Structure 1
Amino acid sequence: MKSPAQPVPPEVVQQVSDYFSVLGEPMRLRILNLLRDGEKCVQDLVEATDTSQANVSKHLKVMLQAGILTRRSKGTLAYYSVEDDLIFELCNLVCDRLATRIEQQAQYFRAFSLASRR
């Protein structure tokens, strides 16, 4: 028999919420996808995202503070990489779930389309 769930402390809920909010920004997901293949310097990310250095740097800073990324300097360049590859597993789970839902919706549309042609 399962024991009743214990209340989660508010500070824990807040930390989980903050982590997910970091991933709720499309530009950050684009940057993470670019870093999937390994470390990149800020300029490479700016060019690949076709946005300003200030915008890329702002998003990198947020992900760095959340512990998602790591940073190293070499001369005047800053290089970023993903600190924990588990972030990609999380993204893959979400993408797989969305793909399943889209496939189910497509089946509903096909069934409706076929039913309306009779």
Structure 2
Amino acid sequence: MYFKANILKALADPIRLDIIELFRAGEWCVCDIVPQIKVAQPLVSRHLKILKERGIVKSRKMGNRTYYSITDNRIYDILDALNEELLVSFSDAIAQYSNIHRLRGNLV
């Protein structure tokens, strides 16, 4: 149970989610991640460390650079399912708002 909780905690940060989304395209080094997500290099490194400690990200050295990638692409199944659910919920909320707005308009 703690394993799942730790994974979910690691995913509960917008910067880490942005980093994970970048890895859909393959490996990245910190120097390439920084300009993409527009946060300081030490912060990117700290988030990568957390993702690596949780087993979400793996790394490999090549020369003086370290390249990071996703350990298991099934993480994207989880994120995609969450995105779909959020879109459905958001669409439902808009529909409810529209109905309320329409009903109020009819009352005036």
**TM-score normalized by the length of structure 2:** 0.94
Which residues of structure 1 form unaligned runs of 5+?
1-12
Query: Larger Rg: 1 or 2?
Result: 1
**In 2, Cα distance between the equivalents of 1:43 and 1:114?**
51
Same amino acid, percent of matched pairs: 27
Residue correspondences, number: 106
What SS class does the counterpart of residue 117 from structure 1 fall into? helix
Alignment match, 2:21: 33
Give the AA of the match of 2:15. Answer: M
Superposition RMSD on alpha carbons, in Å?
Answer: 0.8
Alignment match, 2:103: 115
Higher helix share: 2
**TM-score normalized by the length of structure 1:** 0.87
Give deviations 1:27-65, integer Å, cap 9, x for gaps.
000000111111111101011111111000000011111
Runs of 4+ that moved beyond 3 A: none
**In 1, Cα distance between the equivalents of 2:31 and 2:14?**
19
Alignment match, 2:91: 103
Alignment match, 1:66: 54
Alignment match, 1:6: none
**In 1, Cα distance between the equivalents of 2:73 and 2:80?**
11
